[in-house]
Chain A
């Protein structure tokens, strides 16, 4: 049995639907997990979720959507997610708790007038909204763990364990802010518990090291910091994620090559998440 991971959007910040971006894709964050029992978990609802919604072919089977945070590049596709318009479908949306309102009310700021032609409370599907709890909970055959990580605003990372396979998803993350990751003890590294010994770590790598110097505090990672996190946490495979909208395919290929050179064999595999690509992990 396997845990299947498919990328439907790996771009960060804003969709980048240009021809020179087509190789890695221009849709924003959305990753589909098919668990060992066939059930479906969707990580984030960026614009990639629109195509996923049409392609999924699962009819009205329940959908679990885990949102890391409510920045637009992680929720923009929600309003165009076909299962939400299927009255027979049950959609369970989980996201970060915050002090300024329930998850439903915070999402309603986007899915309501004047930004949207529909109201979140009038979606045809059976939709539920739930703030992620501290600690872990079961979702089908998987154990899901959520924890806040260092980004702007309340932002979760997720760790999903299905049998012997562990996926860590930390798409928006700046763990190096104010500290030297290589020297920090593990408990003081944001996201460490989520990523430790993961078979696949999907992690923010929006910037080259040079770009990061001018973007400290923006909530995203430089390539070398992402590699350090992967190394410190003992992740086997690393998928670089949240590609900068200014990085075309050639720039991302160069980033991949640099990542592999910097990793220097310390990781089993380093890749860039690419739209539609699937990774299978044995459970």
Chain B
């Protein structure tokens, strides 16, 4: 079995230790790990779900609009991070515990090294209800 890039290993170790919900995406776009805080938010632990490609992740957890319709991926933070190699932010809905939709803020941080793109870290948190009005 091939090792993950060391940057992803370090990122996994880091997000395993923090309370901010986070997941990591490998160079092929596969969601290769999410932490306990993310698991708590979406209602499933990583041990139950395992690795998911982006389509599987999207169909289960989002991103959705407020009506539960899947959003196009072009302008999503992770897509921008992957495409442009720059951090990106956004706000949309995710499905939690297989039913409820909640609004979250999302930031995606690309991991670009001397060897090129090694993956990305995505953090998200429940959007403040009274913000932006």
Given the complex, which residues of A lie within 8 Å of B5, measured CB to CB? Answer: 148
Q: Are A187 and B2 in contact (CB under 8 A)?
A: yes
Within 8 A of B (CB), among A45-103: 96-99
Q: Is B13 an interface residue (CB 8 A)?
A: yes
Q: What's the nearest-Cβ distance from chain B to residue A56, in Å?
A: 31
Q: Is B14 an interface residue (CB 8 A)?
A: yes
Q: What's the nearest-Cβ distance from chain B to residue A98, in Å?
A: 5
Q: What's the nearest-Cβ distance from chain B to residue A103, in Å?
A: 10
Q: Is B12 an interface residue (CB 8 A)?
A: yes
Across the interface, B6 reaches (CB within 8 A) one of A97, A99, A150, A185, namely A150
Given the complex, which residues of B lie within 8 Å of A154, measured CB to CB? Answer: 113-114
Given the complex, which residues of B lie within 8 Å of A99, measured CB to CB? Answer: 113-114
Q: Are B6 and A188 in contact (CB under 8 A)?
A: no
Within 8 A of A (CB), among B105-133: 113-115
Q: Which of A148, A192, A196 has the most CB of B within 10 A?
A: A148
Q: Are B6 and A187 in contact (CB under 8 A)?
A: no
Q: Is A178 an interface residue (CB 8 A)?
A: yes
Contact with A along B17-52 (1 / 0, CB 8 A): 100000000000000000000000000000000000
Complex Cα gap A185–B2 (Å): 11
Number of interface residues of B (CB under 8 A): 17
Q: Are A178 and B115 in contact (CB under 8 A)?
A: no
Q: Are B1 and A97 in contact (CB under 8 A)?
A: no
Q: Are A97 and B115 in contact (CB under 8 A)?
A: yes
Q: Are A179 and B115 in contact (CB under 8 A)?
A: no
Given the complex, which residues of A lie within 8 Å of B3, measured CB to CB? Answer: 147, 186-194
Q: What's the nearest-Cβ distance from chain A to residue B111, in Å?
A: 12
Q: Is B86 an interface residue (CB 8 A)?
A: no
Q: Are A188 and B114 in contact (CB under 8 A)?
A: no
With A99-B113, A134-B115, A178-B14 in contact, do A150 and B2 touch (Cβ < 8 Å)?
no
Contact with B along A227-250 (1 / 0, CB 8 A): 000000000000000000000000
* A-B CB contact pairs (8 Å), 29 listed: A97-B114, A97-B115, A99-B113, A148-B6, A148-B115, A149-B6, A150-B9, A154-B113, A154-B114, A177-B13, A178-B14, A179-B12, A179-B13, A186-B3, A187-B1, A187-B3, A188-B3, A188-B4, A188-B9, A189-B3, A189-B9, A190-B3, A190-B6, A191-B3, A192-B1, A193-B1, A193-B2, A193-B3, A196-B1
B residues with a Cβ closer than 8 A to A are 1-7, 9-10, 12-14, 16-17, 113-115
A residues with a Cβ closer than 8 A to B are 96-99, 131, 134, 147-150, 154, 177-179, 185-194, 196
